[in-house]
Amino acid sequence: MKTRYVLSAVCLAAACMLTGTARAELYKWVDENGKTHYGDQVPERYQQKQQSLKVDKAPSQADRDAALQRIQREKNTANALKAQREAKSGASVKPVKAGAGEVPNETACQKEWRLFHEGMACFAPFRTANRSIRAEAYQHCKEMTEPKSVCPP
């Protein structure tokens, strides 16, 4: 009878150890470019820079739902800002082909300026935040040089 209690106590202790609080090891480190990374394993070259983070439990369904709602709000905000930026710059989503339409009775200078502005409008949707132009723009748009100074704008 006594061994039965001892065996029960040992089994209970083992069960408590196995079902104790779930702790996951999570690490944080910063690479040579200053970018912060998180993961359950740290690359060897960043072992000295690692910081151990303790995670006591998995996020609840409410936490997951709140995170999904926050992601959706941030996506909506980003899309609204993009639309505002495009409307402000006059850039359309699709590139405008240079030379799309001839204008009757225009002078050679007027034609040069028209083609130049059409080319600029074609490249506009392909401009990045730092004002450079993505490579695929050259597949859609004809590069035009600014008309000479003998042609006033």
Exposure string of 8-23, with b = 16+ CB inside 10 Å and e = fewer, is eeeeeeeeeeeeeeee
Identify the residue with better confidence: 39 or 153: 39
**Average pLDDT across the chain, whole number:** 75
Q: Is the pLDDT of residue 149 over 60?
A: yes
Q: pLDDT tens digits, residue range 116-126?
A: 888 888 888 88
pLDDT (0 to 100) of residue 9: 52
3-state secondary structure of 115: helix
User: 133: which DSSP letter?
Assistant: B
Contacts of 97 (CB under 8 A, 6+ apart): 118, 122, 140, 141, 142
pLDDT digit string, tens, across residues 9-66: 555 555 555 444 455 678 888 888 888 888 888 888 888 878 887 766 777 888 888 8
Q: Binning pLDDT at 50, 70 and 90, where does residue 1 land?
A: very low
Q: What is the pLDDT of residue 93?
A: 47
Comparing 140 with 88, which gets the higher pLDDT? 140
Question: For residue 36, what are the contacts with CB-CB under 8 A and spacing of at least 6?
Answer: 28, 29, 30
| pLDDT tens digit sequence for 100-118 | 567 777 888 888 888 888 8
**Residue 65 Cα to chain centre, angstroms:** 21
